[in-house]
Chains A and B, each alone.
Chain A
Amino acid sequence: MFVIEKRKTFTKVQNFFLIIIFIVLSLIMSSLIFLLRGLNPFFVLTKILTSAFGSFYGIKETITKSIPLILCGTGLVVAFRGKFWNIGAEGQLLIGAVMATWIGLFIGKNLPSYILIPLMFVFGFLGGGVVGLIPAILKVKFNINEVITTLMLNYIIENLISYLVYGPWKGKTQYGFPYTDNLPKNALLPIIKGSRIHYPTLIIGFFVALLIYFLINKTKIGYEIKVVGENPYAARYSGIDFLKVTLVIMLISGGLAGIAGVGELAGIHKHLTYPYQISSGYGYTSIIVAWLSGLNPILVLISSLFFGGILVGGDIIQTTFGFPFATINIFNGLMLFFIAASHFFINYKIKFVKVKYE
């Protein structure tokens, strides 16, 4: 028989190695999928890594894909610290893209860049934030589970975008494709030459990560978020306003995803189109990014880069070996599964004991 015991202490080094062990385990599990295809898993995994990190082109693409992950991941760290299970970063990101289109293509198309682009980011933040507030209010006021509401909002927003691009916003210059017209030049984000890295968003992401780290550790609202997340009873005892804290959490979490959406639209796509084109599941992948960072905004920068690489590798194995892109989703799912499992082993240990029966 075995018993489960709570661990007394666990050092950061042990913690790190435990996570590494679990990442390796998830790689072994993923290898089974490659084996099913009759391919040598070592070969495939090496291919993923070298294509993401092994070439100049790969690194540029990896950074590009890590930009939305940084922003969404940091936002999710805030939500998860407060134990608000926001699964809706995908939808919040897409709303950011809608706002960018609305401001960039219609409202402010004649404004100069230095006003228009900040305006798009501000509205992206507000759009994502307001969408985030809906489940926050529903949870605090009516006790409705936020996992359901945030997830369902994703589908609503995806369909809203489909409606827009097939209907009222369908572009006249796009030869009948369900795209909006391209944004005017003054609404496009500058990129690093020879890459797709829209550096304004990258810089925002970098500073946001630092800012959120400061917010969580050194401010009053950060303290309230931690207390609400760790012990709601103590939060009530200390007189913390749940509604206020939850609203702030989701305004930040949704807002940051919204900024990511602005970046994707004005930096990469230049027009609004099918939702799954705008975001290749960044909102979902960032859940894993946040967990892998151990809910530390600074480490989100690193885990985003890692998963950005995985996404690039996914594209490559798709073209090289003819794998469907879903393979990478399986891979990500397994990774999340194992990281979640590792958290159990950080807090508990399993001890085998002999039981004597009389």
Chain B
Amino acid sequence: MNIPLIEKLEMRNIYKEFPGVIANNYINFHINKGEIVSLLGENGAGKTTLMNILYGLYRMDKGEILINGKKVNINSPRDAISYGIGMVHQHFMLIENHTVGENIALYLDNVPIIFPEKSVERKLKEFFEKFKFNINPKSKIYELSLGEQQKVEIIKILLRGASLIILDEPTSVLAPIEAEELFKLLKNLKDEGKSIIFITHKLNEVFKISDRVTVLRLGKVVYDGDINSVNEKDLAKLMVEREIIFNITKEKKDGNKEVVLSIKNLYVKNDKGLLSVKGVSFELRKGEIFGIAGVSGNGQRELVEALTGLRKIEKGEICYFGKKCEKFDSKIFRKFNVAHIPEERTKIGVVPNLNVEENAILRVYDKEPFTKGFGLNVKKIKEFALNIIKKYNVLTPSTNIKIKFLSGGNIQKFILGREIETKRDIIIAAHPTYGLDIQATRYIRNELLKMRNMGSAILLISEDLEEILEISDIIAVIYEGEFLKVDRKENFKIEEIGLLMGGVKS
């Protein structure tokens, strides 16, 4: 197995379009032997798309990839591996119930058919001696920490002969100490002559590890250069800079507003059992939009799930309308009549295979007038569905059609209508315009503002900085489960938000 070393890899004029969005708009990118390049950008900047193209998971529409000056065709991960490119995904590609040795053997192609893990063990020993750490090849994957699992992924790729390693947000799952260990390993690999592409949104890490940084914004390269000629502020500005059009007029309202939701010192764990909301406190008042800005995966999902009773709270307090709840779950949450526009609208917000009418009562089906004793009041349900459709401009041929046949924008308008028709004191909206076209986006933002002006308290969680800046009254920036700053919008500068989103307090 002789894979030629990658001395220089170039991606030229890479163009990739998805329906309705240009993910990569003629991007040029290169990396040399023994270099660590950080790929920096907000969500949706095109980092992951670019790397998925390089690893053969997506096909580019236009552009070319050159290795050592020669054009190559990469149509699948298999091709990429054969050129010496390896990728460590955010979610590890390991089989939990198998041992380290077996997982590695599975990825290699030059192992014996019988007892492949034995030959791997020999190779592993050499490897561990060289890099001065150790993982028992006989341990099962689920017995390892996430940091160790990540190392297994890296070892797997190296043993296959990779000379270029792509790491997608590698520190997002790691504890700080584990991250330090990872950096040490990466530096060692660099000295060995490996090239490393490091996808991240954390600014401090960029400076800690990389030689060069490439910044993407909205599918274009906005900076490519040596790490020593920029500082954190520059990068933050490059990452988030844009013109913001404030064409939505807002009524100013001041004075003492009633607190309807207060959260004190909230701690929540994520699916992996790690704390992902760490001591968040805030108050939500009537007639205000409280916007939470931040790169996704910094605890927003867990925060919303905790507030809506879908996730257990480790510590802290959630008080709706001043009422303290000892035990809080989704059944208690529904008693509060809080509108909730969930993050994944077709996965959670509707039942795709039920019709529009049935979906209209999803969160009120057991309330008057939709139900009487055991039965449902079909007439009232139809009226309610028709009312939502009319009032919120939902385009649908009838109320009997399965809701999965509606477009994303119409489903979202429908969910919004359904929620705020019956519950208007508090609205929790998670990424309400994600993936929608301009018209639908405009409509939903206007509708939220309208509700605010009528006195609703709105909690807005969004990855879209523009959305946060456009309609929020108060902004909180969340990073690794903590609010780095909470203040009125007027007191923020856009660069500052960029820095905070990257974890830098000024």
A122 to B126: give the CA distance in the assembly, Å: 72
Q: Which residue in A221, A234, A236 is a CB contact (below 8 Å) of B350? A: A234
Q: A237 contacts B352, CB within 8 Å?
A: no
A241 to B358: give the CA distance in the assembly, Å: 18
Q: B363 contacts A230, CB within 8 Å?
A: no
Question: Closest approach, in angstroms, between the C-beta of B72 and any C-beta of chain A?
Answer: 12
A231 to B358: give the CA distance in the assembly, Å: 13
A226 to B308: give the CA distance in the assembly, Å: 22
Kindly state whether residue B119 has any CB partner on chain A within 8 Å: no
Q: Which residues of A contact B348 (CB under 8 A)?
A: 231, 233-234, 236-237
Kindly state whether residue A238 has any CB partner on chain B within 8 Å: yes
- Per-residue interface assignment for chain B, residues 296 to 337, with 1 indicating a CB less than 8 Å from any chain A CB and 0 otherwise: 000000000000111000000000000000000011011000
Q: Which residue in A8, A220, A234 is a CB contact (below 8 Å) of B349? A: A234
A267 to B414: give the CA distance in the assembly, Å: 53
Q: B376 contacts A220, CB within 8 Å?
A: yes
Q: B362 contacts A227, CB within 8 Å?
A: yes
Q: Which residues of A contact B376 (CB under 8 A)?
A: 218-220, 223
Count of A-B contacts judged by CB separation below 8 Å = 67
Q: Which residues of B contact A236 (CB under 8 A)?
A: 310, 330, 348
A233 to B374: give the CA distance in the assembly, Å: 24
Q: Which residues of B contact A233 (CB under 8 A)?
A: 347-348
Q: B363 contacts A239, CB within 8 Å?
A: yes
Q: Which residues of A contact B352 (CB under 8 A)?
A: 230-231
A358 to B352: give the CA distance in the assembly, Å: 39
Kindly state whether residue A9 has any CB partner on chain B within 8 Å: yes
Name the residue of chain B whose CB is nearest to the CB of A224. B365
A237 to B358: give the CA distance in the assembly, Å: 15
Q: B375 contacts A219, CB within 8 Å?
A: yes
Question: Closest approach, in angstroms, between the C-beta of A43 and any C-beta of chain B?
Answer: 43
Kindly state whether residue B432 has any CB partner on chain A within 8 Å: no
Question: Closest approach, in angstroms, between the C-beta of B141 and any C-beta of chain A?
Answer: 21
Q: Which residues of A contact B371 (CB under 8 A)?
A: 220
Interface centre among B347, B376, B405, by most A CB within 10 Å? Answer: B376
Kindly state whether residue B41 has any CB partner on chain A within 8 Å: no
Question: Closest approach, in angstroms, between the C-beta of A127 and any C-beta of chain B?
Answer: 24
- Per-residue interface assignment for chain A, residues 214 to 254, with 1 indicating a CB less than 8 Å from any chain B CB and 0 otherwise: 00001111011011001101101111010000000000000
A234 to B354: give the CA distance in the assembly, Å: 11
Q: A226 contacts B358, CB within 8 Å?
A: yes
Q: A239 contacts B354, CB within 8 Å?
A: no
Q: Which residue in A219, A227, A230, A239 is a CB contact (below 8 Å) of B374? A: A219
Kindly state whether residue B378 has any CB partner on chain A within 8 Å: yes
Name the residue of chain B whose CB is nearest to the CB of A9. B405
A275 to B299: give the CA distance in the assembly, Å: 57
Q: Which residues of A contact B286 (CB under 8 A)?
A: none
Q: Which residue in B73, B362, B375, B378 is a CB contact (below 8 Å) of A238? A: B362
Q: Which residues of A contact B405 (CB under 8 A)?
A: 8-9
- Per-residue interface assignment for chain A, residues 197 to 228, with 1 indicating a CB less than 8 Å from any chain B CB and 0 otherwise: 00000000000000000000011110110110
Q: A231 contacts B351, CB within 8 Å?
A: yes
Q: B340 contacts A237, CB within 8 Å?
A: yes
Q: B351 contacts A230, CB within 8 Å?
A: yes
Question: Closest approach, in angstroms, between the C-beta of A246 and any C-beta of chain B?
Answer: 16
Name the residue of chain B whose CB is nearest to the CB of A6. B404
Kindly state whether residue B387 has any CB partner on chain A within 8 Å: no
Q: Which residues of A contact B204 (CB under 8 A)?
A: none
A9 to B353: give the CA distance in the assembly, Å: 12
Given known pairs A237-B340, A241-B331, the reply for A218 and B375 (CB within 8 Å) is yes
Kindly state whether residue B234 has any CB partner on chain A within 8 Å: no
Name the residue of chain A whose CB is nearest to the CB of B332. A239
Q: B362 contacts A234, CB within 8 Å?
A: yes
A8 to B128: give the CA distance in the assembly, Å: 54
Name the residue of chain B whose CB is nearest to the CB of A357. B75
A227 to B362: give the CA distance in the assembly, Å: 8
Q: Which 6 A-B pairs have the closest CB atoms?
A: A239-B334, A231-B351, A233-B348, A239-B330, A230-B353, A230-B351
Query: 30 A-B pairs, CB-CB below 8 angstroms?
Result: A9-B405, A218-B376, A219-B374, A219-B376, A220-B365, A220-B366, A220-B375, A220-B376, A226-B358, A231-B350, A231-B352, A231-B353, A233-B347, A233-B348, A234-B349, A234-B351, A234-B362, A236-B348, A237-B310, A237-B330, A237-B342, A237-B348, A237-B362, A238-B334, A238-B362, A238-B365, A239-B309, A239-B333, A239-B334, A358-B73
Give me 18 other A-B pairs in contact (C-beta within 8 A), A9-B405, A223-B376, A226-B358 excluded.
A219-B375, A220-B371, A220-B374, A221-B374, A223-B358, A227-B354, A227-B362, A230-B354, A231-B352, A234-B349, A234-B362, A237-B308, A237-B348, A237-B362, A238-B363, A238-B365, A239-B331, A239-B363
